């Protein structure tokens, strides 16, 4: 079957098998940040944005993306660059395996809610599995980023 979608801002047309998963499609098209983890839609490692909404690409057929826009971390580097250092500063990227999923969900969260509470951050990131850091480092990093952003906006020359 033939599908056509926009992947990280560029049009892609491909012939696929009907059972091709979106994770396999995006990885085959140069997006290695989308990681295979649990393959049961429980860990968040395979998160991509489809039309701006986070989806678990291990549980979505590539055919469902036909006619849609799909973004991976490769296409969102500039937006991610704003806050990933804050997460790293909190020691929340020990092995780094879960980072792409956290970053993708954080981007979606901040687009939807630019000033979330800690509970809203926890709720939005609940589907991301992290075995190293205990989750609080990611929360502290996002909170530090938001606080720094507010402080910068409050500066007279901002």
**Whether 23 and 64 share a structural domain:** yes
**Whether 84 and 144 share a structural domain:** yes
Cβ count within 10 A of residue 49: 21
Please, which residues have CB within 8 angstroms of residue 5's CB and are 6 or more apart in sequence? 11, 12, 65, 66, 67, 68, 69, 70
Q: How many domains does the chain have?
A: 2
Q: What is the mean pLDDT of residues 33-49?
A: 90
pLDDT at position 24 is 98
- Residue 102's domain comprises 76-154
Of the three residues 74, 104, 134, the one that is the final residue of a domain is 74
Residue length of the chain: 158
pLDDT-derived band at 28 (thresholds 50, 70, 90) equals: very high
Of the three residues 22, 48, 74, the one that is the final residue of a domain is 74
Instruction: Return the minimum-mean-pLDDT range out of 43-57, 72-86, 88-102, 107-121.
Output: 88-102
**Whether 57 and 93 share a structural domain:** no
Interval 109-139: pLDDT, tens = 999 999 999 999 988 888 888 777 667 888 8
Of the three residues 27, 46, 74, the one that is the final residue of a domain is 74
pLDDT tops 90 at residue 63: yes
pLDDT at position 113 is 94
pLDDT tops 90 at residue 95: no
pLDDT tops 90 at residue 47: yes
**Whether 144 and 84 share a structural domain:** yes
**Whether 94 and 51 share a structural domain:** no
CATH number at residue 53: 3.10.20.30
**Whether 49 and 96 share a structural domain:** no
Single pTM value for the model: 0.88
pLDDT tops 60 at residue 158: no
pLDDT at position 40 is 84
pLDDT tops 60 at residue 55: yes
């Amino acid at each position: 079957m033939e599908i056509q979608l926009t992947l990280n801002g560029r049009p892609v047309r491909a012939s696929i098998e009907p059972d091709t998963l979106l994770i396999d499609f995006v990885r085959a098209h140069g997006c290695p940040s989308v990681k295979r983890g649990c393959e049961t839609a429980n860990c968040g490692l395979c998160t991509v944005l489809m039309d701006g909404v986070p989806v678990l690409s291990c549980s979505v057929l590539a055919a469902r993306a036909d006619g849609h826009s799909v973004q991976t971390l490769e296409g969102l580097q500039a937006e991610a660059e704003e806050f990933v250092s804050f997460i790293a500063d909190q020691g929340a990227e020990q092995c780094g395996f879960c980072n792409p999923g956290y970053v993708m969900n954080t981007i979606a969260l901040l687009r939807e809610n630019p000033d979330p509470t800690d509970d809203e951050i926890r709720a939005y990131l609940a589907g991301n599995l992290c075995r190293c850091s205990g989750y609080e480092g990611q929360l502290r990093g996002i909170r530090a980023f938001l606080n720094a952003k507010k402080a910068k906006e409050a500066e007279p020359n901002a």
